[in-house]
Structure 1
Amino acid sequence: MSRLIHLLFVLGGLLPWGAPGAALAQPAAQPVPAPYALDRTEVHRLHSRLLQRDYELYIGLPPESEAGARLPLLFVTDAPVAFPLIHAMSRRLSHEGPQSRQMVLVGLSYALGDSPTVSRNRDYTPSQRASSAEDSSPRYGQAEAYVRFIREEVLPYLAAHVPQADMSRRYFAGHSYGSLLGAHVLLHHPGLFQRYILSSPSLWYDQERVLREAEQLAAKRQPLHAQVLLLAGAKEQTAPGRRPRPGQEADGDIVGNVRRFERLLRQMPGVQVQARIIPDEDHLSVFPSAMVRGLRWALPQR
């Protein structure tokens, strides 16, 4: 009787083929999906002795067809957001276009263990937020230390580990706070970068500190040898006669500040500056359009 019962179970698909008492068949384990990786990219972990923090550098290498070439470097802040976008667009514009030249893309990521907000607030801002209406957290205002990290640790590391990099051609791209960092570097660290793509810079920060510093340098006719492209979305401006609420300067007249910064830079010998206001874009949406224009400007196809 027991053999008959077993046969019925087998025929009914309730037991696997085999000896009586065999275990029920288990579903096959599904393979773990592989993470998506951008072609020709690397992630380098770099410990900063100066800052006592760890950072990741995202490196976008040129196509293998450029083997042996020495290419300019484009540094971009806020790498987790900006790097994949610029990497994709640069490959399309330089290879499929062609509308711009090849480069080595360097993404400056956030400090490991910090949130993006904490890391960029600290590393990209040149001073404390002095207004009583603003947060005066000590997590702001360490841009000078971060610039030293770039100069003394990032640049030597790239020179030693990225043979395609032409270390004499260094360009900078940033948006918002990242662009504020670029404006600070432009005014106070001549020669660190030769070209700047500054998208929607947060020039309102700390009661327009960078604009006030630019006014002082312009009055002295301070020479700055750099090429600068300033960009903003047309919607990044305050309505005529309206002032932003205290503590909400980021919602203010970024377009007006860009125009003012452009006028001041034009008064400094050696600066070549352009400003472009992009229609129909706001602070969140303008970055892709700004970077496409920036790539064509900074790396023109000859």
Structure 2
Amino acid sequence: MSGAAGEAGARPGGVLRLRGRVFGPGRYAVMGVVNRTPDSFYDRGATFAFEAALRAADAAVRNGADIIDVGGVKAGYGDEVSVEEEVARTAPFVAELRARHPGVVISVDTWRARVGEECLRAGADLINDTWAGADPDLARVAAEGGAGLVCSHSGGLGPRTDPHRAHYADVAADVVTTVTALAERAVDLGVAPDRVLIDPTHDFGKNTYHSLELTRRLGELAGTGWPVLVAVSNKDFIGETLDAPVTDRLAGTLAVLAVSAWEGARVFRVHDVGAARAALDAVAAVAATAEEAAVGNGSAGPDV
């Protein structure tokens, strides 16, 4: 590990700082999704139009979003989207969003360095690289722009590809090794350690069993000290587990969010901000009660 990372980076209890806001352990940040794509798996293009996307972002902020995550390319298979088109879908929208909501953290979901650079110029604070450093210049862009970076795990897959017979000797260990290495590289390149997140990236390069296993063992990622982001909202592993179509996965999503929060996740990328905010507030209340009970028990005197 580099000196920078060793001094200020991966240590348990570390905080996440984005746009002057601090998200410490037990503080759950909700990241609302706004897809400026015509073919999103979830909304089927409902927020592709500029004004529709703005309305969705406004609603997400009203409902408690701390972060708005703007994407210009569908994660899975679909029509080719050029760099120029992705920039056109995202950067002007980021600029307008920044003007409307100066205090909200803005994230851009991209694997391309040029898109990240243009969106940072427009006012973004965070680059959400869901494809595990496929463009090695993206971390440098985050560093030079003073932005945060999400370091993810895709099981070696390239952008916009689906897993085929994915296999790991130990999926959680593979994720920890990959994302911590990417986080340390980001710090080496100049990204501030308290602006780096790690994401197990459920379903990317993984089957349903792997995604469930990662959820159960999320504490191992949180134990690295890097703040953990989870992006599980309405994903296929929830649908397959519950035999539920994409329109009927909210209950499963909220259950996985609650487990992830209890296991130490810090940021939660979701489609339904209001429901997620309520679920996470409930988890926080339970956690606070448990902590108070532990303190109370500890001050009651010696065991007899």
Q: What TM-score range do you get, normalising by the shorter chain?
A: 0.3 to 0.5
Q: Which has the larger radius of gyration?
A: 1
TM-score between the two structures when normalised by the length of structure 1: 0.34
TM-score between the two structures when normalised by the length of structure 2: 0.33
Question: Greater share of strand residues, 1 or 2?
Answer: 1
Higher relative contact order (CA 8 A, sep 6+): 2
